[in-house]
Amino acid sequence: MNILDKIVADKRKEVALRKSLIPVKQLEQSILFTRTTNSLATALKASSSGIIAEHKRRSPSKSVINHNLNVFDVAKGYEDAGVCGMSVLTDGKYFGGSLDDLLTARANCNLPLLRKEFIIDTYQIIEAKAYGADVILLIAAILTREEIKTFSELAKSLNLDVLLEVHNEEELHKSIMPSIDMLGVNNRNLKTFEVSLEISKALSTLIPNDFVQVSESGISNIEAIKILQPYGYKGFLIGENFMKTDNAGASATAFINALNQ
């Protein structure tokens, strides 16, 4: 069993428990459930930098990244830096995140917020909306085409953007459908954790122009973005690069300023 299989097995147990504690009806009564969402896809299309900055305390591949930065400061810092959107890890066991992180970020910035999570149930999409997300992540490696269709159509009915993440050509082909806004290519092999920008380059030619292209993982310098922009990428998800510093917002500001020079 690889790490992805382990995460999904644990996620199924976790979601079953949460469903038993908080019914969908209760989530739908959340004050945030009726708020107007901000489109990340629209923000990326209009941006020259395309940075989606992440709040991530730890990961299975790197263990602890930073436990000292609080979401309140990070969200404010990212917004001041002029990022296009913020990704918030809500998985507790493997990434040290929580839905409370999403709430805190929502209370402190107007950025489009991505709930970065291993979504395996429609319940988590309703949860994302109730906790203030604007975007959900769907991971093709753990979903069937039918699930991608069901989940993305539910998200669209709630006015949430959908970022669909792929790792290879097979996943890309099963994922292309009108209810997807953005196609994210993960440069990290989720089974081995090796990273290569070649994955983004190779898949770029197969992504139809209707979708906003996002490159994820392994983007730690301006050169990587400059290499990928000619391949049609408009969005770049950056987490560890900012989070491993003492001030994620200042780090993002310096990065974007250097990129735009």
Which sequence positions are flagged as catalytic? 54, 56, 116, 165, 186, 216-217
The full DSSP string for 65-85 is: S-SS--HHHHHHHHHHHT-SE
Specify the DSSP element, H or E, that contains 162.
Answer: strand 161-166
Is residue 39 within 8 A of residue 112, CB to CB? The reply is yes
- The CA distance from 101 to 103, in Å, is 5
Is residue 106 within 8 A of residue 113, CB to CB? The reply is yes
Nearest CA to 11 out of 97, 83, 106 is that of 97
- The CA distance from 66 to 245, in Å, is 8
Cβ atoms within 10 Å of 63's Cβ, excluding its own:
8
Please list the residues that pair with 214 across neighbouring strands: 184, 235
Give 194's DSSP letter.
Answer: -
